[in-house]
Structure 1
């Protein structure tokens, strides 16, 4: 969802800048000069009560500031899960670092037959983590075999090492491009 918000804000900013540039290129200048007021007295009287619409303008500007702060905080939020609590069996908990689990799953999945590379991201919340796995397959690899190897032993090891009853995973498969060999 954050990507959609970022693209929308970028598009709106681009449209505003495009409109401002078009106004400047065509010679349209809403201001009367360097020392002229932004709105003349007759323009202010045209909008009804001279002081009433300023409150609506201030409320709109305050809403824009709040939305900008929300967007900034959403950018700073970490998308990956930093650690998982693992029950040690004696009533205490140990923390399993998310990066360690990601590295272990990536190493085990990268060792599967036909897999040339693997990237793993641990997402979600501590109570319900999920894995996002991106497998890069070699040209001769069978995608069903690679997916079965990932869903079988790799995710089973990750689930048992983290002490989780279930660990949902999303796998994305990509076949590496290869060039035809030249025969001479």
Structure 2
């Protein structure tokens, strides 16, 4: 799963939670339950404008306990550290947005190609084989040159060696020739799916009970 998909899922879940809390606070603050004639249960939070979000009994329930403040401080610290870690992970991107293309004979001209366009071309060129079920390619940073990182999933009985040869002589070679790059290292992970086991069921014939002659 790509980082963008994970980010969208996490942000969607956080947004749903915040939206639900906001709707509850808004409904209680505007006294909508009374206007609509709805009687919420006794444990329902914030049922009227005069009611605090957290009751005094709930706020003071565990204050006298020795473990309360260490638990609160530890929980908030974990939340802050996790949030900062997530933010730093978003800022530190491993992928590239574009790649520089050499322009010999054109002084002062800088040409760059979008990384996503190159990735889509490589993915489509890899997926032409009938045994390829799914192909994904990313252009990532490297100390010296940009690097391709691909993951391919083959159908049961697929040939990994044939796929590697096809990728080397086909999509990767075409990309090098089109962009005029001297080198573009690649790392390809190939996974071959296992065929689903066929379940054989055999029903043995029921043994007939021996019928003994009845004595009258």
TM-score, normalised to structure 1's length?
Answer: 0.56
Q: Do structure 1's residue 79 and structure 2's residue 78 form an aligned pair? A: no
Q: Do structure 1's residue 129 and structure 2's residue 160 form an aligned pair? A: no
What count of residue pairs does the alignment treat as equivalent? 127
Worse-matched range after superposition: 87-96 or 164-173? 87-96
Separation of aligned partners in 2, 1:70 and 1:180: 43
Q: Secondary structure at the match of 1:136?
A: strand
1:148 aligned residue = 165
Separation of aligned partners in 1, 2:86 and 2:156: 42
Q: Secondary structure at the match of 1:133?
A: strand
1:114 aligned residue = 131
Instruction: Decide whether the 8 Å contact of 1:81 with 1:125 is kept in 2.
Output: no
Structure richer in strand, relative to its length = 1
Unaligned runs of 5+ in 1: 1-26, 32-64
Query: Could you tell me how far 1:69 is from its partner in structure 2?
Result: 5.8
Report the structure number with the largest CA radius of gyration. Answer: 2
1:29 aligned residue = 66
Query: Could you tell me how far 1:125 is from its partner in structure 2?
Result: 5.3
Cα separation, partners in 2 of 1:140 and 1:30, compared to 1, 3 Å: closer
Structure richer in helix, relative to its length = 1
Of 182, 187, 199 in structure 2, the residue corresponding to residue 165 of structure 1 is 182
Separation of aligned partners in 2, 1:182 and 1:111: 32
Taking CA–CA contacts closer than 8 Å with sequence separation of 6 or more, which of the two structures ends up with the larger relative contact order?
Answer: 1
Query: Could you tell me how far 1:75 is from its partner in structure 2?
Result: 3.6
Q: List per-residue Cα deviations over 1:133-157 (Å, max 9, x = no partner).
A: 1011111221111111112222111
Query: Could you tell me how far 1:175 is from its partner in structure 2?
Result: 1.3
1:44 aligned residue = none
Q: List per-residue Cα deviations over 1:94-118 (Å, max 9, x = no partner).
A: 2100000000000001113522210
Aligned structure 1 segments of 4 or more residues deviating by more than 3 angstroms: 68-72, 180-184
Q: Secondary structure at the match of 1:128?
A: coil
Instruction: Decide whether the 8 Å contact of 1:80 with 1:124 is kept in 2.
Output: yes
What is the root-mean-square deviation of aligned Cα atoms in Å?
A: 3.4
Cα separation, partners in 2 of 1:127 and 1:93, compared to 1, 3 Å: farther
Q: Secondary structure at the match of 2:148?
A: strand
TM-score, normalised to structure 2's length?
Answer: 0.49
Unaligned runs of 5+ in 2: 1-63, 69-79, 202-216
